[in-house]
Amino acid sequence: MGKNRTFDLVLTGMLTALIVVTTMIVRIPMPYSNGYVHMGDAMIFVSVLVLGKKAGAFAAGTGSALADILGGYAYYAPWTLVIKGLMGLVMGIALEHMKKRGATTDNGHMSLTELAAMTLAGLEMTAGYYLAAAVMQGSWVVPLMSIPGNIVQFTVGMVIAWVFAGALSRTPVRKYIC
């Protein structure tokens, strides 16, 4: 995050709200589960790229949990707060770790480093929701049906984030991107 704390706070709030909106605006129910596929993961990835691991994790968890509460899935909100917050944190930690080991990002374009970090974060989210559903439903078998939908969701989110990161590379916000 930058040196201007007010700008950082406003940017964090805006990205949190964007996660809420993109999670709620397009909701495709997943068969054989209580969940739905949405575009919020794309904004989670963008939020971590722009804000870094801590503020990105905050925006991811809070924005996604608010979308659950506002969208009729309040019983999932505590799980979502933790799972999506960890999703942002995992991505941010992975980015930092890979960059310390010499991985670089392409200037203005999504790099393999960023795609790998998003994949790790998406796999954490998929595993987290599987475990949450297993606990809530009392079955380790039934939630298996939600895994493909979650994989599709974060994969589509990666593609959309790639487009957004390219667009952001031409703005002053790009200096914040990891």
pLDDT of residue 178: 47
Instruction: Give pLDDT, residue 86.
Output: 98
In angstroms, rounded to a whole number, what is the distance separating the alpha carbons of residues 29 and 38? 9
d(CA 128, CA 126) in angstroms, rounded, equals 5
Provide the pLDDT for residue 116. Answer: 93
- Closest residue by Cα to residue 88 from 114, 55, 115, 128: 55
* Phi, psi torsion values for 177, nearest 5 degrees: -65, 135
| In contact, 122 and 158? CB cutoff 8 Å | yes
Q: Consecutive 10-residue runs of the chain (178 residues): their mean pLDDT? A: 82 97 90 81 95 96 97 95 98 91 62 91 98 95 92 93 81 57
